[in-house]
Structure 1
């Protein structure tokens, strides 16, 4: 008899933006979808949008007890077949000069972008081993090309790149694939949030900080807002990540968006000095 087992996927940050679009598309293609959300409205919305094929839970991935409870609940429903795919998608962006940003804000970014993801991955490993499944981490091109005034995000995504390589080696004996999706600018709801965050940082600067960084940060703000507004659509971004979810054999890395492809190519081809010059151009301190 043919194998009728339904494919399963768990997605963090599935209530909005890229996570929601991936959940919708995977549910439409036959996956049983589980995920985390940040509000009851997000849970209700996706349940209706997928006719019950996607089940979200209210989970803060930085709360280990909440993660454990969610994964245990999902694992019971999965049974002995395990989990086919885990997409570690949840993330935040904390822009600003490193000297200006509170250390607590930097730590929060690492808690969400790195440590929260680690907590979810480790909790799901028994279910992933059972299915010899796949982990897809949503990184960023800034993990390979950190940019000024985007330090916490760049640093946390760089750490995620290393974590992906380590997991890939450590989990190979269990048949688990680990894929890094290196995202460029995406119109996934992030641009509006980024614009607000950028404005808040500028408004919170002291006169001394504004004298030091104000002009360069304003140049960076204009460049980031412009880049994100022209980035890959949320639906197209979801399609590309799903390609990485289903590609056989599993890729090690894959760019999401033409800008990511271009930046990652330059990182491979350019010298450190040339890359530094590119960074300075982003904040108006280099030659155009």
Structure 2
């Protein structure tokens, strides 16, 4: 049995808090009495969340791939927290770059790693002095694809797999300072992501040359239909945020935990099935399995 404890008025910083899961987390944590700070991509997101939270959430427009901007934001948050330190950092910001690896421009793949991996590293490292002060917790929003990569989802699967490795390394390196590191292995969620995913899939399909379309068009269309269907039937925004908050507050901290029944099942299969069985399953899931 797990317990949940938190200090009075704990603090949390959330990247990518202007929309989707990050926005839901910010509102729910503010309602629970947390002091909430976060990053957004646009000023209208800052204004929207300030109004929605009655001023309880403090967002700043920050590109987490800009180290200077990250340093400025973290310094501002740390000064507001003064000697208390930051209790929780939720590394949530991320992008999705679907498509066949042969078709995707290398710059697009690098951009996904810049946001999903290097931007997250920049924020984590900048907050470590404050997290050491509070003996706080880092929660990385990963994905089940970090353990079960899918075809046509290469950059996202690879970046989430990298997060899994970095979490294990951080957990070992930060143990002497009492900092917990948790990976939330998310399945499909209806938190604003499905619409963005559908748009990204369409952009890739539209950008293919005739030669690329002849090679991958039919298979990518099946993948698109399967992924849109999976995301559309994923865990609700409310339930997704509540599950992540459980991981924020769970004592003792888990090292990793699924978010959603689909993630729970996939991660179980990863532990139990052979590589050949998993290869067949990943094709089946994206509509490319044998009839």
Is the aligned partner of 1:202 residue 2:205? yes
Q: Distance in 1 between matches of 2:191 and 2:180?
A: 26
Corresponding residue for residue 58 of structure 1: 61
Q: Distance in 1 between matches of 2:177 and 2:92?
A: 23
Corresponding residue for residue 113 of structure 2: 110
Q: Equivalences for 1:1-288 in 2 at 5 Å?
A: 5-288=8-291
SS class of match (2:251): coil
Q: Is the 8 A contact 2:227 2:286 kept in 1?
A: no
**1:75-109, Cα deviation, whole Å (9 max, x unpaired):** 00011110000000000000000000000000000
> How has the CA–CA distance of structure 1 residues 283 and 216 changed in structure 2, closer, same or farther, with 3 Å as cutoff?
farther
Query: Is there any run of 5+ residues in structure 1 with no aligned partner, and where?
Result: none
Corresponding residue for residue 3 of structure 2: none
Q: Distance in 1 between matches of 2:137 and 2:235?
A: 24
TM-score by length of 1: 0.97
How much has 1:287 moved relative to structure 2?
2.2
> How has the CA–CA distance of structure 1 residues 285 and 18 changed in structure 2, closer, same or farther, with 3 Å as cutoff?
closer
Q: Is the 8 A contact 2:226 2:287 kept in 1?
A: no
Q: Distance in 1 between matches of 2:8 and 2:190?
A: 34
Name the stretch that deviates more: 143-152 or 188-197: 188-197
What is the count of residue pairs matched by the alignment? 286
How much has 1:245 moved relative to structure 2?
0.2
How much has 1:53 moved relative to structure 2?
1.4
SS class of match (2:185): strand
Q: Distance in 1 between matches of 2:8 and 2:247?
A: 21
Q: Is the 8 A contact 1:95 1:149 kept in 2?
A: yes
SS class of match (2:139): strand
RMSD, matched Cα? 1.2
Query: Is there any run of 5+ residues in structure 2 with no aligned partner, and where?
Result: 1-5
Q: Is the 8 A contact 1:14 1:35 kept in 2?
A: yes
TM-score by length of 2: 0.96
